[in-house]
Structure 1
Amino acid sequence: MITDKDITNDYLNGLNASMKGYAGYISDANNQALRQTLVNLRNGDEARQKKVYDYALQKGHYQPPQVASQQEIQQVKSELTSDQ
């Protein structure tokens, strides 16, 4: 039997895959109108993903990972900016 949790997780996985796809298409788009259309579609998926994520969190269908400490955040920032 398909549960609410199964449907929610499936929808989230689909939205996440869609957003990854848009990232590639946007970076390759040479036509500005096409690029903007793809950006708008991606933004819509991001908004839907946030709503479904919040729903999953509220219903207990998703347990987020432990919150990163300030030290861990700073370390990642340093690593990402040291290459620039």
Structure 2
Amino acid sequence: MQDKDMVNDVLSMVNASLTGYAMAIAESNNPQLRQTLTQIRNADEQFQFQLCQKAIQKGYYKPAKEADQSAIQQYRSQLSS
């Protein structure tokens, strides 16, 4: 397996786990469990960000083109109305 494939697989798995943590946090009624899940999610988000930055540096991943300010403002207006 190529390094690029492994990195992309790990990113995919971490992204899936972040979705799972978000659901578990939203449904948790126990404050201690909620806090623990939030800490784990935050650590995974940091790991995902760092791995994504490495993937970009190595050319394994190319992020989407940044939106221009007019597009951002248009979406912001649509969402706030």
TM-score range, shorter chain: over 0.9
Q: CA offset at residue 77 of structure 1?
A: 1.1
Q: What pairs with 1:2-81 in structure 2 (closer than 5 Å)?
A: 2-81=1-80
Task: Quote the RMSD (CA, aligned, Å).
Answer: 0.6
* Amino-acid identity (%): 48
Post-superposition, which runs of at least 4 consecutive aligned residues in structure 1 deviate over 4 A? none
- TM-score of the two chains, using structure 1 as the length reference: 0.93
Q: What letter matches 2:51 in structure 1?
A: V
Where do 5+ consecutive residues of structure 2 fail to align? none
Q: Between Structure 1 and Structure 2, how many residues are aligned? A: 81
SS in structure 2 opposite 1:61? coil
- TM-score of the two chains, using structure 2 as the length reference: 0.97
Distance across 2 between alignment mates of 1:76 and 1:20 = 23
